[in-house]
Amino acid sequence: MKSINESQIRYLQVRNRDEIGDLFRYKGGLYRGINKEYEEHIQTILGSGLLSKLIEMGIFPDSKVSELKSERYNLIIKHSEITPLIYPQEWSFGMLKKAALMVLEFAQVCDAYGYNMKDCHGLNVCFRETQPMFVDLGSIVAKQDINEVWHCRQEFIRFYIAPLYLWSQGLDHLAKASFSFGNLLELSEYNTIRYWYLRIFPKAIKSKVLETLLLPSRLSTLSKKRIQKMPNHLSVPINALQNITRSYFSVSRDINRFKKTVKYAKYRVGRSIWSQYQRKSLGKAERFKRILEIIRENCINLNTALDVAGNEGNFTSMLKRDLNLNTAICQDLDISAIDYGLTRTEHKDVTYVNYNFATHVHKDHLPTASERFRCDLVTGLAITHHLILSQHYNVEYLMKLFSNYTNRYVLIEFMPNGLWSEGQQITIPDWYSEKWFKEIFGKYFNVLVIEKVGKNNIVFLGEKLS
């Protein structure tokens, strides 16, 4: 065993919520120190074969006992790191759906090995490219009773079922807000939205109606120890009723019911103006090929790339494959486009993120999107003219934004004809010109290449100024 000093450790959790131990970095690796009172519990999990099974299924990251120990920890687990870190508020409908099905699969395996889960929320889920993985070892708890129900039942409804239902009703903004940053929709509010007849009751009466409806579910979660402490005239009937409710709310039944609900959830909004943009542009593949050639000829030591407004991820996938990148991120605000890309087998090695590139919202104590998604190369094809001419963003703000996201290179297309389609009249402001764009681009990047690659596409390739 190698002993390490606490001064060499960088702890990662802002608030220590995990009772089994802490995540930390040591010499570039990701580790979890296990508190002494939980060493036996973790060793039992490791010896049961559960973790090996979850890793084999691809729904838990590779993990093993390390040879390290510290002043605080005798048992330290080394985890395979998943990057970039994508928060739930950056998931699309399809990503939430995939995460929900993975969590149910995770719970099913835990149940088969005699374990339960104490939480299942999306902050414990990371995406490795298009594959969601559950990453919290501390969420796995031993069953105290062979017939106990799934502890996460209500949390699963709040984090996954409720937003999927809202999305299926076309309530996009409410759906996203209902699980962003872990601020979950209350069950009473979700049920009020879902079941129209509850809205006719005054709030006080509605609360009692909901309490009555939820009573069987709550009864099934009561611990046997708590029931045994009750007087006989209460414990006997409650115990009998609990056996009935536990049969209905058994882990296997709950999981099967939830699986059906999740699988049948459909994104209501469907096709948007951008959802088939790249499929309609497949005839322009030559432009993509030339852009890739420009990158190969002028950029060195590329390992990661971010494709801003990457739509379905066609160009992102080409970047990953043709440049042999470790990571290629497709960012887009359009849910339909991202969800279509998620279903394509040839895009399975693309990492998708769904958020507004120009105005991203984050919590102060969390790393920003530009920190988490920063790459060696950032591309923005056919996007700046929309941001500048339609949404009226300041171009210097946009150049600074691109600069924040890149380690070294940016490739941005300037559209000299503005919001123009073939056959239409060109209508652009007097100030909007290639010369104007080049001048501002040059404030943030050393210009390497300027080349026209289409009728309304001029590529600017630059290297970030120090």
pLDDT digits (tens, 9 = 90+) for 155-190: 999 999 999 999 999 998 899 988 886 678 888 888
Q: What is the arithmetic mean of pLDDT over 216-225?
A: 58
- What is the Cα–Cα distance from 266 to 168, expressed in whole angstroms? 5
- 111 Cβ contact list (under 8 Å, min separation 6): 150, 251, 252, 255
155 and 119 in contact (C-beta within 8 Å)?
yes
Mean pLDDT of 320-324: 96
Dist. CA 196–CA 169, nearest whole Å: 13
pLDDT at 6 over 70: yes
Q: Contacts from 452-457 at CB under 8 Å and sequence distance 24+?
A: 453/287, 453/290, 453/291, 453/294, 453/413, 454/284, 454/287, 455/417, 455/422, 456/415, 456/416, 456/417, 456/420, 457/287, 457/381, 457/382, 457/413, 457/414, 457/415
**How are the residues of the chain apportioned to helix, strand and coil, as percentages rounded to the nearest 5?**
45, 20, 35
Contact 140, 103 (CB under 8 A): no
Cα–Cα distance between 224 and 339 in angstroms, integer? 44
Ramachandran assignment for 79, one of left (phi > 0), alpha (psi -120 to 50 degrees), beta (any other): beta
CB 238 within 8 A of CB 229: no
Determine the Cα–Cα distance for residues 73 and 20; give it in Å rounded to an integer. 11
Closest CA to 413 of 319, 294, 297, 331: 294
pLDDT in tens, 349-385: 999 999 999 988 777 778 899 999 999 999 999 999 9
5: Cβ–Cβ under 8 A, 6 or more apart, which residues? 70, 71
Closest by CA position to 379, among listed 460, 263, 325? 460
Q: What percent of the chain has pLDDT over 90?
A: 63
Indicate the pLDDT class of residue 146, thresholds 50, 70 and 90: confident
CA dist 159 and 73 (Å) reads 33
**And the tokens for 236?**
């006997």
The 10 Å Cβ neighbour count of residue 253 is: 14
Q: How far apart are CA 119 and CA 134, in angstroms?
A: 11
For position 293, what pLDDT does the model report? 97
Instruction: Indicate the pairing of strand 304-308 with strand 327-332.
Output: parallel
φ, ψ at 446 (rounded to 5°): -80, 120
pLDDT attached to residue 184 = 84
DSSP for 113-178 reads TTEEES---GGGEEEETTEEEE--GGGEEE-SSTTPPPTTHHHHIIIIIHHHHHHHTT-HHHHHHT
Q: Using the predicted structure, report yes or no on whether residue 275 has a pLDDT greater than 90.
A: no
Percent of the chain whose predicted confidence (pLDDT) is above 70 = 86
Which of 301, 270, 440, 294 lies closest to 379 in space, CA to CA? 294
* Tokens matching residue 246: 């536990």
Q: What average pLDDT score do residues 97-113 get?
A: 96
Return d(Cα 306, Cα 281) in angstroms, integer. 20
Between residues 215 and 71, which one has the greater pLDDT? 71
Q: In which element (H, E) is residue 94 found?
A: helix 93-112
Q: What is the mean pLDDT of the chain?
A: 87
What whole-number distance in Å separates Cα of residue 316 and Cα of residue 329? 7
Is the pLDDT assigned to residue 243 strictly greater than 60? no
pTM of the model: 0.89
Average pLDDT of span 397-423: 94
Residues 283 and 422: their CA atoms lie apart, in Å, by 15
16-20 long-range contacts, Cβ below 8 Å, gap at least 24?
18/136, 18/138, 19/138, 20/137, 20/138
Confidence band of 446 (pLDDT split at 50, 70, 90): very high
pLDDT, residue 282, reads: 47
The length of the chain is 466
Between CA 277 and CA 163 the distance in angstroms is: 26
